Amino acid sequence: MAQGVGTRPRGAGRAQLHETALRLFARDGVEGTSLQSIADDMGVTKAAVYYHYRSKDDLVLGVLAPLFEELDALITRTEAHRGRQARLDEFLTGIVGLIVDGHSRFAVFAGDPYVGRLIMSHHDLLHWFHRIVAAVGADTDVPGRAALLIFLSGMTAPLKDAGVSGLPTAEQRHLLLECGRRLLQVRRR
């Protein structure tokens, strides 16, 4: 069956490259991972990597691309709800799912200094963040924004803990969701 644009079968090598690169990025950081080490891990040479992407930056963006799409869809879904509580719930559920099932893509996205700078100059991370902030109604509310930031940037940490990563993913989701709800619950003065 034809599966997309063009006739060329878009290599299985590409999928393996994504998988390998993501794993090393998550473990050693993007700047701590050379194209050489990726190639070594795959048992090929650097030049084989350059066949798929013409620069390291491109590779990083390529690896993160699926996350960008899912993030975009989640925000759109969130914006469709009415009422802050409903939006918060949709967003939290969705983002927790992305993190637990995302094979550490989110950790690389949110935790790596190199990625931060890269995104800032390509996709504009700020645009997404503003949409998120507005979608959950935290744009006029400094404490709310602070809580959201803590959650977004801290959320991936428990998954590296042995006691948590050993749990079934359903429980991981539940655990993170609990934390998110506790942290982001609106407070009346």
Binds 9: which of its own copies, DNA, none (CB < 5-8 Å by kind)? DNA
Looking at the Cβ atoms of 48 and 152, the one nearer to DNA is 48
Binding positions for its own copies, rule: CB under 8 A: 28-29, 31-32, 111-114, 117, 142-143, 145-147, 149-158, 161, 163-164, 167, 175-176, 178-179, 182-183, 185
Looking at the Cβ atoms of 10 and 127, the one nearer to its own copies is 127
Query: Residue 77, Cβ neighbours under 10 Å: how many?
Result: 15
**CA 36, 38, 43, 49 torsion-angle sign:** negative
Which tokens go with 40? 């070594």
CB of 132 to DNA, least distance (A): 30
Looking at the Cβ atoms of 15 and 126, the one nearer to its own copies is 126
Burial class of residue 11 (count of CB atoms within 10 Å of its CB; 0-12, 13-18, 19+): exposed
Binding positions for DNA, rule: CB under 7 A: 8-11, 13, 33-37, 39, 43-48, 50-51, 54-57
Q: State the Cα–Cα distance between residues 29 and 64, nearest whole angstrom.
A: 14
Query: Residue 5, Cβ neighbours under 10 Å: how many?
Result: 7
Binds 114: which of its own copies, DNA, none (CB < 5-8 Å by kind)? its own copies
